[in-house]
C-alpha cells in the first residue's frame, strides 16, 4: 500500500501531448465556427435591411393610396 501512495496517488497526471490530427481538428473547427458566426451576422444584417426596406415601401404605398381617395 505504501508503494501505491508514493507513486500514484499524489502524482500530477501530465496531459497527453496534442497530436497532429488533434491540432488539425482544433484549427478546422475554429475556422468553421468563425465562418458560421460571420455568416450569421451577414444574414441578420441583410434580414434587417430587407425588413426596413419592406416597411418603407409599405408606408409609401399606403400614402399613395390615401392621396388617391
pLDDT tens for 15-53 read 788 899 999 999 999 999 999 999 999 999 999 999 999
Position 8 confidence tier, pLDDT thresholds 50, 70, 90: low
Number of domains in the chain: 1
- Would residue 57 count as lying in a domain? yes
Q: Give the Cα separation of 43 and 35 in Å (integer).
A: 12
pTM: 0.58
Per the rule left: phi > 0, alpha: psi between -120 and 50, beta: everything else, 45 is alpha
What range defines the domain where residue 60 resides? 39-69
- Would residue 59 count as lying in a domain? yes
Amino acid at each position: 500500500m505504501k508503494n501505491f501512495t508514493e507513486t500514484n496517488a499524489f502524482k500530477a497526471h501530465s496531459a497527453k501531448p496534442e497530436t497532429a490530427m488533434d491540432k488539425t481538428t482544433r484549427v478546422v473547427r475554429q475556422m468553421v465556427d468563425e465562418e458560421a458566426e460571420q455568416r450569421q451576422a451577414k444574414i441578420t444584417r441583410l434580414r434587417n435591411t430587407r425588413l426596413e426596406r419592406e416597411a418603407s415601401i409599405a408606408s409609401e404605398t399606403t400614402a399613395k393610396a390615401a392621396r388617391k381617395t
